[in-house]
């Protein structure tokens, strides 16, 4: 392939993209207004399956509970997997959009939980529907097999593993490459990625600290789990600052500290929930071991009646982009979008279970980012040093601008796929 050359079939496959945009916008708004929590994406999965069938794909639904796999066989050639995640978050949307979610569902505790697409997976579904439809319409421009995977449960690290455990590797052809993308804060119309680690490993833990309850006026009769928890939280801050080298990277965040129900009652226990992000297996092992050491030591120092309970809530693998495959995708992007719209980015501290597919199949995987911020707003925020004030993924106010985000994401999937599929 010549330097900065677009895949041969890209122009013909994407010729109908502009006329398809109103349909994709309507689809996006519909999914945005009807979000579904992880592993409950029945409506979204049904829409994805219906769109694939109409485009001529062999469709298998219910893979890993709510996952959908579509196959389009188009002669001899490579097999390319394109993936989109479908689940939303238990967050009340605060975007002010006229298609904003007002959905609430009953949570595990029986209380109402708001649900919103505050991470952009609704955009991912629209992108993959668009890309698969366009590729099906112009089959004389490429050869091979296209595999579309609409994945459930990314937000809980369940979905990819559930599909794999449900026989994904045995029931469907082994791809030559797995490709995925995510909308992020960044100027719309731009794509960004890099070879090597692209999203971090993540581990979420729950820690239960046990004490002995007493009246608030008689602390001498207690073993106070509140003080114990406070000491643990403060000491955990030293793991990254004092045990991890400056040349390495790690994030340790305590997001939940719960204890007691009344101001004059010392409770029996306290609960801490925390999250760890790392980019190196050795660093990850050290951080997790340090957490156990600190928690146990603080409990012993307090005279706790029981050892703390440390429970894993979820775990995401380190997502590593294959070097040769990443270069191939980047070259195709530069040829289609122009070099100025293709950026190099370092690894993001966000986490993904997309890499599970490539690891399970033992094939190269490439994951990249698509900007979703109004370019003028992004440029102004950057110029004034206020980028951190832009609503990010998982914010109640996160709302990608529709254009050119929709067309950029669809084009990126098509161009990425055609970098492998035999173009004619």
Q: Identify the CA nearest to 113 among candidates 178, 38, 183.
A: 38
Q: Say what percent of the chain tops pLDDT 90.
A: 95
For 267-315, the pLDDT digits (tens) are 999 999 999 999 999 999 999 999 999 999 999 999 999 999 999 999 9
Give the DSSP H/E element, type plus range, for residue 24. Answer: helix 17-33
Residue 421 in this model has a pLDDT that exceeds 80: yes
Q: Assign residue 361 a region: left if phi > 0, alpha if psi is -120 to 50, beta otherwise? A: alpha
Per-residue model confidence as pLDDT tens digits over 32-47: 999 999 999 999 999 9
Which run of H or E residues covers position 294? Answer: helix 281-302
Cβ(71)–Cβ(79) below 8 Å: no
Contact at 8 Å (CB) between 354 and 319? yes
Closest among 146, 410, 408, 193 to 319, alpha carbons compared = 193
Helix intervals (H) in 34-120:
42-54
Tens of pLDDT, residues 404-417: 999 999 999 999 99
pTM, two decimal places:
0.91
- Which tokens sit at 163? 């599909």
Q: Please check whether residue 396 is in contact with residue 118, taking contact to mean a CB–CB distance below 8 angstroms.
A: yes
- Over range 102-128, report the average pLDDT: 93
What is the reported pLDDT for 2?
Answer: 44
Q: What is the pLDDT of residues 333-372, one digit of tens each?
A: 999 999 999 999 988 889 999 999 999 999 999 999 999 9
Is the pLDDT confidence value at 328 over 60?
yes
Mean pLDDT of the region 193-209: 96
CA-wise closest residue to 409 among 162, 123, 87: 123
User: What is the DSSP pairing of strand 191-193 with strand 342-344?
Assistant: parallel
């Amino acid at each position: 392939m010549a330097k900065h050359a677009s895949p041969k079939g890209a122009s013909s496959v994407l010729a109908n993209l502009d006329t398809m945009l109103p349909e994709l916008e309507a689809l996006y708004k519909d999914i945005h207004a009807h979000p579904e929590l992880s592993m409950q994406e029945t409506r979204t999965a049904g829409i994805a399956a219906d769109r694939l069938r109409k485009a001529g794909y062999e469709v298998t639904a219910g893979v890993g509970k709510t996952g959908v796999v579509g196959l389009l066989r188009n002669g001899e050639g490579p097999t390319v997997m394109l993936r989109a995640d479908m689940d939303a978050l238990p967050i009340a949307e605060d975007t002010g959009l006229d298609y904003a979610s007002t959905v609430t569902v009953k949570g595990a505790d029986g209380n109402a939980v708001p649900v919103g697409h505050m991470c952009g997976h609704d955009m991912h579904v629209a992108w993959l529907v668009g890309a698969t439809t366009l590729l099906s319409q112009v089959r004389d421009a490429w050869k091979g097999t296209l595999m579309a995977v609409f994945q459930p449960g990314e937000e809980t690290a369940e979905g990819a593993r559930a599909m794999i455990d449900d026989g994904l590797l045995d029931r469907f052809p082994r791809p030559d490459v797995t490709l995925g993308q995510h909308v992020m804060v960044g100027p719309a119309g731009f794509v960004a990625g890099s070879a090597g680690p692209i999203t971090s490993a993540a581990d979420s833990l729950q820690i239960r600290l046990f004490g002995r309850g007493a009246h608030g006026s008689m602390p001498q009769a207690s073993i106070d789990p509140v003080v114990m928890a406070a000491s643990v939280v403060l000491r955990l801050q030293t793991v990254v600052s004092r045990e991890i080298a400056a040349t390495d990277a790690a994030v340790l965040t305590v997001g939940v500290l719960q204890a007691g129900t009344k101001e004059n009652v010392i409770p029996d226990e306290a609960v801490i929930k925390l999250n760890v992000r790392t980019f190196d297996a050795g660093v990850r092992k050290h951080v997790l071991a340090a957490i156990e050491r600190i928690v146990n030591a603080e409990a012993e120092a307090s005279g706790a009646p029981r050892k703390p309970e440390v429970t894993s809530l979820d775990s995401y693998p380190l997502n590593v982009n294959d070097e040769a495959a990443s270069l191939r995708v980047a070259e195709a992007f530069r040829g289609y979008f122009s070099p100025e719209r293709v950026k190099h980015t370092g690894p993001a501290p966000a986490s993904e279970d997309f890499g599970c597919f490539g690891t399970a199949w033992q094939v190269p995987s490439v994951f990249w980012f698509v900007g979703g911020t109004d370019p003028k707003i992004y440029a102004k925020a950057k110029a004034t040093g206020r980028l951190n004030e832009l609503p990010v993924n998982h914010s109640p106010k996160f709302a990608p601008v529709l254009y050119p985000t929709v067309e950029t994401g669809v084009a990126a999937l098509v161009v990425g796929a055609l970098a492998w599929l035999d173009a004619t």
